[in-house]
Amino acid sequence: VASQETYRQLREEIERIVGPQNVVQNVPVPEVHDMVFFYGEKEQKPEFFVLPTSSQQVSEIMKLANENVVNVVPWGGGTDRYPGAVTAPKGSIVLCTQKMTRIIDLDETDQIAVVQAGITVQALNRELRKRNLWWPHDPESKDNATAGGSIAINGIGTYFCKYGSARDMTLGLTIVLPDGRVIKVGRRVAHSITGYDLVRLFTGSEGTLGVIVEATIRLDRIPEERGFSIIRFKTIEDATKACSNLLDSGVRPEVLFVEDSERFRYNVTASDPLAESSTISTLQGMGAVVMVSVAGSKGYVGPNSSIVQTFLTQSGGQLVMEERLKKAWWKTKTSLTFEIPQNLKGEGIATKIGVVDVAIPLGTVSWWNERYRESMDRYRLFPGGLRVYITPNHDAILSAVVLFNELDQNETRKYLSWVEELSKLAVDIGGTMTSNLGVGAKLVGLVDYELNEVGTLAKDFKKLIDPHNIMNRGKKLSASNVQQPELAST
Ligand SMILES: Cc1cc2nc3c(=O)[nH]c(=O)nc-3n(C[C@H](O)[C@H](O)[C@H](O)COP(=O)(O)OP(=O)(O)OC[C@H]3O[C@@H](n4cnc5c(N)ncnc54)[C@H](O)[C@@H]3O)c2cc1C
């Protein structure tokens, strides 16, 4: 940590670059995000937040931070709290892109846009809708999640099964490197083997290699119609097998999820509390539910929806006919309405949602689900249920949720041990410990368990691009020259 005098001078120089009104003590995150366990919240003590308005300003700020060897935490909406991706400890400055919100270029013919990093996914799609276009990345946090943050974390959304992750919808990036140089990577086409694939290196790099200031993104036409079905199954195994076969059938779903009955019930009742009893009777004797939609032109959707329904019912599923449940589930999935169950709210209780976001081969989901259930009992954590994003290449991206009281240190410790156990379990069966929320500060102590010797190469990359280690220090990669927080501490 540099001296107070260094920070005072740095602040003054940065104020000269961006104007004093754009250097502030905090940029709040909307209250709704308080339900999430914010890893490292207690250490959140940045020196100040700076809100640049142009790439040139970002470049000048980075030059100063580099000269002074000051840690910079890039910050979009500040919503990636589960893994502590936006934790900014003492001595850091936060570089927030929320004033960089312009759509710089919109090419309707080729369906490509160039946007500043700080535009939120919601605001971007509101503008694009006027031209019958959208960026089909749709995280639940879209009101606040920015394009830059989504790309930096390589996030996933509701329509992942058809369009892939934020990375798959990104053609190019303009990046300010730690020393202030501005580089452009990628083209206006997705497929290229000229040089190395630096777009992929920077997407998912969690703000540890540079600041994304602009993104060239691939857009799509908004589908004319959507056919959405819910099909219940006896077990998670039956449901995942049926989905795997569906992927091989030639149909191209845009949404394909399996949820256990707990998660389904919470999702429906979060949007429509009065639907509780009808949800319970729908789920009687059923362990899992498949949510699937196809979308496209009018002529495509009707026949393909019928094929999907026939296929899944012939695989042992039963169609859920109640429109009310369908509407409620859809609403919760496409907005931020998850509710803490009533019985976990109470005086002196600060119930938080914790999660693991491992990805594993589809065939191992049922086995992994048994371990998840068993671990929940052993750790005595309250299960919030399991959701499986089924990917077109037969991976399963899991969102396994628990709820616990963060004011009880023992509960928090149990949660972090639980994360460690399940993350390692995913790695042991050929999967990965994080698929979309990021390593952040929470998983950094575990990363070498997955990376092995490749971790050294990754650190070499990092050193080459960020020799003073000023970008999001202490996150993403374990670094021998940096004190890492222990996983089991908050
Ligand atoms: C309730 C809830 C629901 C969520 N649902 C989803 C979901 O459905 N899908 C999903 O993928 N995620 C989800 N998330 C996680 C989070 O919202 C996403 O990762 C989101 O895309 C982060 O965007 P952001 O702008 O808030 O980034 P931030 O949280 O501000 O930052 C995320 C990471 O990217 C870095 N970063 C941010 N901007 C830049 C930049 N311009 N250049 C370089 N690095 C940068 C940060 O340093 C940090 O490491 C959810 C989170 C919550 C709390």
pLDDT in tens, the chain (490 residues): 778 999 999 999 999 999 999 999 999 999 889 899 999 999 999 999 999 999 999 999 999 999 999 999 999 999 999 999 999 999 999 999 999 999 999 999 999 999 999 999 999 999 999 999 999 999 999 999 999 999 999 999 999 999 999 999 999 999 999 999 999 999 999 999 999 999 999 999 999 999 999 999 999 999 999 999 999 999 999 999 999 999 999 999 999 999 999 999 999 999 999 999 999 999 999 999 999 999 999 999 999 999 999 999 999 999 999 999 999 999 999 988 766 766 666 666 778 999 999 999 999 999 999 999 999 999 999 999 999 999 999 999 999 999 999 999 999 999 999 999 999 999 999 999 999 999 999 999 999 999 988 889 999 999 999 999 999 999 999 865 444 444 443 3
Q: Say yes or no: CB of residue 73 within 6 Å of ligand 1.
A: yes
- Residue 165 and residue 213 in contact, taking contact as beta carbons nearer than 8 Å: no
Closest atom of ligand 1 to 77 CA is: 26
Residue 254 CA, distance from chain mean position:
18
On whether the pTM is more than 0.85, the answer is yes
**Distance from the alpha carbon of residue 27 to the mean position of ligand 1, in angstroms:** 15
- What is the three-class DSSP state of 434? strand
97 CA: nearest ligand 1 atom: 41
How remote is the CA of residue 297 from the centroid of ligand 1, in Å?
32
- Helix (H) or strand (E) run with residue 96 in it: strand 92-96
What separation in Å is there between the alpha carbon of 237 and the centre of ligand 1?
A: 31
Regarding the beta carbon of 74 and ligand 1, being less than 6 Å apart is answered yes
For residues 93 and 49, the answer to whether their CB atoms sit within 8 Å is yes
How far does the centroid of ligand 1 lie from the alpha carbon of residue 456, in Å?
26
Atom of ligand 1 nearest to the CA of 436: 11
Distance (Å, whole) CA 216 – CA 190: 10
**Distance from residue 190's CA to the centre of ligand 1 (Å):** 23
φ, ψ at 84 (rounded to 5°): 70, 35
Return d(Cα 44, Cα 39) in angstroms, integer.
10
Most ligand 1 atoms within 8 A of CB, residue of 26, 79, 82, 439 to mutate: 79
What are residue 432's DSSP bridge partners? 359
295 neighbors 301 (Cβ within 8 angstroms) = yes
* Tokens describing residue 461: 């990359």
Instruction: Tell me which residue has its CA closest to atom 13 in ligand 1.
Output: 139
Rg, Å, the chain Cα set = 22
Q: Please indicate whether residue 336, judged by its CB atom, sits closer than 6 Å to ligand 1.
A: yes
Strands (E), 164-278: 170-176, 182-186, 211-218, 220-221, 225-233, 255-260
How confident is the model at residue 336, as a pLDDT?
82
List residues bridging with 214 in a β-sheet: 116, 174
Residue 346 has what pLDDT?
65
Burial of 348 from C-beta contacts in 10 A (0-12 / 13-18 / 19+):
exposed
